[in-house]
Amino acid sequence: ILLENEMKKAIKLDQFTLEYQPKIDIKSGKLIGMEALVRWNHPELGKIPPGKFIPIAEETGLITVLGEVILRKGCEQTHRWQEEGYTDLVLSVNLSTKQLYQNDLIEKIKLILRETNLDSKWLELEVTETAFTNIDNAQSILQEIRDLGIQVSIDDFGAGYSSFSYLKNLPVNTLKIDASFIRDIDLNKESQAIVNGIVDIAEKLKLNVIAEGIETVEQLDQLKDAECPQGQGYYFSKPLTADTFHQFLKKEH
């Protein structure tokens, strides 16, 4: 079976769905938003993880249309939740590097926001550092995204070829600390020091920070000590279907 063909069919048949993972304000414990994560339950092959099909979508160029499907679904759902009174939630959507340099990206985003009636201030795009190999190109496209009123987050921050020049030159709002630093933060002095350092730099640069992959109360305690403002991970909640996330909202508010 060629996954590329299956993906084309699945897009036509609307078989891609989204899950939503809560993002939490660490001090208050309040919900601040959710990260959309794409899911594919293939009728014969079963659940195929995004780590498997996203790279193929990128190689084949299918990520362009799949990315639009994902963004539209996320914006539609967020607007629906807003209509039910959950008006202060930011939707984060992962953007692959290929999408960032797609030449009609800005037009497509504008169209989707208009069609789904979502105000751009409730949308955040998560971009990894691999998108920043050409910093001038990255700067101009990120600036266009910011000019639309959309927020930008550096995903997996610290895991790749992080360079401080990104922080100096790129118009980003948030650093999302890579889960590898959180995994051993309660045991490892180096991870503690790095997380503390990222939080301090972010504060001085007036950037937001979120820690991802929080699984235990010990990890959370370390992040409280570091005064990391926001967190995400299985400790709070795994990614939830739209229905289950709705239950979570009702409990929360």
Site string (91-110) toward ligand G, x via CB under 6 A: ---x-x--------------
Stretch binding ligand G (CB under 6 A), from 40-48, 101-109, 164-172, 233-241: 233-241
Closer by beta carbon to Na ion, 89 or else 154: 154
Residue nearest to ligand G according to CB distances in the complex: 233
User: Which of 6, 212 has the CB closer to ligand G?
Assistant: 212
Closer by beta carbon to Na ion, 129 or else 155: 155
Residue 22 and residue 34 in contact, taking contact as beta carbons nearer than 8 Å: yes
Q: Are 98 and 63 in contact (CB under 8 A)?
A: yes
By CB under 6 A, residue 233 contacts ligand G: yes
Minimum gap (Å) between residue 157 Cβ and Na ion:
8
- Name residue 127's beta-bridge partners: 154
The Cα–Cα gap between 120 and 53 comes to 28
Query: Does residue number 192 form part of the binding site for ligand G (CB under 6 A)?
Result: no
Nearer to Mn ion, 95 or 202 (CB): 95
Minimal distance in Å, beta carbon 90 to ligand G?
15
Q: Which two tokens stand for residue 118?
A: 């979502």
23: Cβ–Cβ under 8 A, 6 or more apart, which residues? 31, 32, 33, 34, 35, 90, 92, 210, 230, 231, 232
Binding to Na ion (CB under 5 A) within 122-181 occurs at: 155-156
Q: Residue count at the site for ligand G (CB under 6 A)?
A: 20
Q: Which helix (H) or strand (E) holds 22?
A: strand 16-25
Give the 3-state secondary structure of residue 235: coil
In the bound complex, what is the minimum distance in angstroms from residue 21's beta carbon to Mn ion? 9
Taking CA atoms, 222 is separated from 124, 184, 232, in Å, by 26, 10, 14
Task: Choose between 6 and 124: whose C-beta lies nearer to Mn ion.
Answer: 124
Using CB under 5 A as the criterion, which residues of the chain lie in contact with Mn ion when the complex forms?
94, 126, 155
Rounded to whole angstroms, how far apart are CA atoms 113 and 95? 16
Q: Are 151 and 124 within 8 A, CB to CB?
A: yes
| Residue ranges that bind Na ion, judged by CB under 5 A | 155-156
| Residue ranges that bind ligand G, judged by CB under 6 A | 21, 36-38, 49-51, 54, 70, 94, 96, 155-156, 212-215, 233-234, 239
